[in-house]
Amino acid sequence: MSAQLMEEQIATTAEVTHPATGVKPAIIRTDNLWKTYTMGSEQLHALRGVSFEIQRNEYVAIMGPSGSGKSTLMNLIGCLDTPTQGQYWLNGKLVSEMEDDELAYVRNREIGFVFQTFNLLARATALQNVELPLIYSGIPSSERLKRAKEALERVDLGPRMSHKPNELSGGQRQRVAIARALVNNPSIILADEPTGNLDSATSYEIMGLLDSLQSQGNTIILVTHEPDIAEYAHRVLHILDGNIDSDTLSEKGRELRGQ
């Protein structure tokens, strides 16, 4: 599919209000998601019929022990993999049935990734690292520069935009990664263990930044195995043996709802 046709598809499937109920659709909806891996004569079911919804501007943590299916679910949400069975809608688009080139396009436009290991180019400046998604999107140079600078300003790294990763602290590198995630104005920010390589004080600083971004209207999905980090989210999905074991409000979520 051409880039222009993909743009048209996104435009025609953008979020709309239901004409009868006046309710906007969930930004993420999964229906009976399965992911099965074949290993010789055996089949391993990493996900077993997972269904849930996430609304726009929600802050959701996904937790689970090693082997629970947490990482598999993250890969499906991030359009890094496709389900064996079931359906996944992201911002009104049925991405579970898209081809690889369409998925790559959606990943670039709809999802901002933040990883534990930062994934920054060592020889590029902070500004150049943040520009990367815009290059892949075909954005003109002058517009790229403007948007990348604005994204770095949002994470309080304006004075450091000409620095390379080895000239930045761990927390500053993660701020660059968050700016890169924001620069395309994605539908969701998907943060995979974003504090895993940071000390406690820096971890709280980064989680405070994610709090601020959520309060500005961003939808954040946080994948973590740390209960104290998950408490920053407003809702927690616990995954166990490929199923959703529980779907609860965090203490912060209960406070916000007055419960």
pLDDT at residue 54 tops 90: yes
Q: What is the pLDDT, as a whole number, of residue 19?
A: 38
pLDDT at residue 14 tops 80: no
Q: What is the mean pLDDT of residues 97-118?
A: 93
The angle subtended at Cα 35 by Cα 31 and Cα 36, nearest 5°, is 140
Q: What is the mean pLDDT of residues 76-92?
A: 96
Q: What is the pLDDT, as a whole number, of residue 257?
A: 84
Q: What is the mean pLDDT of residues 120-147?
A: 95
pLDDT at residue 200 tops 50: yes
User: Each residue of 152-182: pLDDT tens digit?
Assistant: 999 999 999 999 999 999 999 999 999 999 9
Query: In percent, how much of the chain has pLDDT > 90?
Result: 85
Distance CA 200, CA 195 (A): 8
Nearest to 114 by CA among 191, 187, 202: 191
Show the tokens assigned to 94: 């049925």
Q: What is the pLDDT, as a whole number, of residue 185?
A: 93
Q: At what angle do helices 141-154 and 126-136 cross, to 10 degrees?
A: 130
| pTM score, whole prediction | 0.87
On whether the CB atoms of residues 177 and 115 are closer than 8 A, the answer is yes
Q: What is the pLDDT, as a whole number, of residue 20?
A: 39
Higher pLDDT, 19 or 105: 105
HEC states along 104-172? HHHHHHHEEEEECCCCCCCCCCHHHHHHHHHHHCCCCHHHHHHHHHHHHHHCCCHHHCCCCHHHCCHHH
Show the tokens assigned to 51: 């269904």
Domain that holds residue 46: 3-256
Q: What is the pLDDT, as a whole number, of residue 24?
A: 66
On whether the CB atoms of residues 83 and 75 are closer than 8 A, the answer is no
Q: What is the mean pLDDT of residues 132-139?
A: 91
User: Each residue of 214-246: pLDDT tens digit?
Assistant: 999 999 999 999 999 999 999 999 999 999 999
pLDDT band of residue 16 (cuts 50, 70, 90) is very low
Q: Find residue 203's DSSP bridge partners.
A: none
Q: What is the mean pLDDT of residues 70-89?
A: 96
Nearest to 197 by CA among 164, 224, 170: 170
Q: What is the mean pLDDT of residues 179-194?
A: 96
Calculate the average pLDDT of the chain: 90
The total number of structural domains that make up the chain: 1
pLDDT at residue 12 tops 50: no
pLDDT at residue 11 tops 80: no
Instruction: CATH number of the domain at 71, please.
Output: 3.40.50.300
Phi, psi dihedrals of residue 196, rounded to the nearest 5°: -60, -30
Q: At what angle do helices 170-182 and 200-215 cross, to 10 degrees?
A: 20
Q: What is the mean pLDDT of residues 33-57?
A: 95
